[in-house]
Structure 1
Amino acid sequence: MNHYYTAFKAIALREMLRFLQQRERFLAALVRPLVWLLVFAAGFRAALGLSITPPYETYITYETYIVPGLCGMILLFNGMQSSLSLVYDREMGSMRLLLTAPLPRWFLLFSKLCGATFIGLLQCYAFLSIAGAFGISMPTVGYLAALPALLLAGIMLGALGLALSSFIKQLENFAGVMNFVIFPMFFLSSALYPLWKMAESSELLHDICALNPFTHAVELIRFALYAEINLMAAVSVFLTAIVFLSIAIWGYDPSRGMKRK
């Protein structure tokens, strides 16, 4: 167990140190959702009406509605950027040292996933603090209740990035694929608009958004911020995380690479 703990600590600490050395990454992670919160939301506020739907018990501002979706955006971008470093490490050769360690492959990947998710949690709570300073706050207990929801959502989205990085061998290709994954997942979800609003324009669009794993992650965070649990969303996010992580483990299987050769 000491070997497992040492490896977990080393991999997670490496992620933290890399993040601390990239201060621009932290600023970019906050600027992106803050632009949506403070600029775009001001324009959409008058155009979009919101009904009273769970977990809300009264009418809310549009800025309040999109906060959970913007937390999901932070976790999504963070998961992809963390996996981007795996592609870079593979090109530089350091990835080989990690994956040849005498420990199960799944444990090594899960350790990196946990380190990246912890960074995403820090970014989310920094964003929530800034949003609170602008008067967009949640129930106090919700900030604590949201921790497991953010953790589970971060693991799922980070596992998606790991799965993609296992099949993409070049840094340039992964950066391009990120755009084809991030933007459809974000915009075809309940992050910016309620699902009932989607149904008004297109039933097909509503069904696509309802099936989007990112929608379930956002709704899980949304309910947790009000100290409630969305059981269906929690189960969906958990099962999807297992599927993505399983694909990543299979993709990084050295025997599969030998067979392909």
Structure 2
Amino acid sequence: MTPYLTSLRAIVLREALRFVHQRERFIAALVRPLVWLLVFAAGFRAALGISIIPPYQTYITYETYIVPGLCGMILLFNGMQSSLSLVYDREMGSMKLLLTSPLPRWWLLLCKLLGSTAISILQAYAFLAIAAGFGVVAPPWGYLAVLPALTLAGVMLGALGLLLSSFIKQLENFAGVMNFVIFPMFFLSSALYPLWKMAESSELLYTICAVNPFTHAVELIRFALYGEVNLPALGWTLLAAAIFSACAIWGYDPARGQIGRRR
């Protein structure tokens, strides 16, 4: 197991060092959700009153409702940006050095995924701390209970980014596809409004939101923040993480995937 642990340590450390040297990335990761929390929520508060829905036991403010969704936003954007670095590494040639390691390719990709997920979790906790400073506070035990939910959601969204990076050849193309994936996933979910409100306007949009993997990741985080487990969300998030991971490993397999066909 020593070579496996050594590679895990090296790849995670490389991700951490890259993140430390890109302070703008950390600031940008916090600015996006804070704009929604402090600016957009003020305008939507009157239009979107939130009734008593699980896991909440009473009426809540709109700011309280969107905090789990904004944590999901951080995980989503960071998962895509981490995969963007894979496309950059491929163009620069350093990707070949990683993938020619004698270790299994699936393990190397898993190490990359775990490294990016760890960074996403740190960013999510930083946002939760700032939100608490503005009065949006979860139960104390919820901040610990949400850790597994953030980890699973981060792995699922990071695996989606890995899958996209295996099919996209150029850096410029990935940036465009990334926006095409991020914004529909975010807005067609329960991150900003409950699904029952979407059902009141359109059954079709409600169905799309209900099958969106990001919706289940957000609901998993939402319930975990209040010390509860949403079993359907847990099951669907696990399933999506497994499918995205398997497809990403297939895509990076030189014998069958897209990487192999480009060489």
Partner of 1:89: 89
Partner AA of 2:170 in structure 1: Q
Partner of 2:28: 28
Question: CA offsets, 1:132-166, max 9 Å, x none?
Answer: 00111000000000000000000000000000000
After TM superposition, what 4+ stretches of structure 1 lie above 4 angstroms from structure 2? 257-261
Partner of 1:46: 46
Residue pairs, 1:87-236, within 5 angstroms:
87-236=87-236
Change (3 A) 1:2 1:196: same
Partner AA of 2:121 in structure 1: L
Partner AA of 1:68 in structure 2: P
| Aligned partner of residue 74 in structure 1, secondary structure | helix
* CA positional deviation for 1:6: 0.2
CA–CA separation in structure 2 for the residues paired with 1:49 and 1:63: 10
Uncovered stretches (5+) of structure 2, i.e. residues with no partner = none
* CA positional deviation for 1:48: 0.8
Partner of 1:240: 240
Question: CA offsets, 1:105-126, max 9 Å, x none?
Answer: 1100000000000000000000
Give the share of equivalent positions with the same residue, in percent: 77
* CA positional deviation for 1:260: 6.1
Whether the 8 Å CA contact 2:253–2:260 is kept in 1: the answer is no
Partner AA of 1:190 in structure 2: S
Partner AA of 2:210 in structure 1: A
Change (3 A) 1:23 1:259: closer
| Aligned partner of residue 128 in structure 1, secondary structure | helix
CA–CA separation in structure 2 for the residues paired with 1:196 and 1:97: 49
| Aligned partner of residue 167 in structure 2, secondary structure | coil
CA–CA separation in structure 2 for the residues paired with 1:258 and 1:249: 12
Change (3 A) 1:258 1:53: closer
- Please give the TM-score of this superposition, normalised by the length of structure 1: 0.99
Uncovered stretches (5+) of structure 1, i.e. residues with no partner = none
Question: CA offsets, 1:28-63, max 9 Å, x none?
Answer: 000000000000000000011211010000000000
- Please give the TM-score of this superposition, normalised by the length of structure 2: 0.98
Question: CA offsets, 1:154-206, max 9 Å, x none?
Answer: 00000000000000010000000011000000000000000000000001110
Residue pairs, 1:63-78, within 5 angstroms:
63-78=63-78
CA–CA separation in structure 2 for the residues paired with 1:67 and 1:17: 28
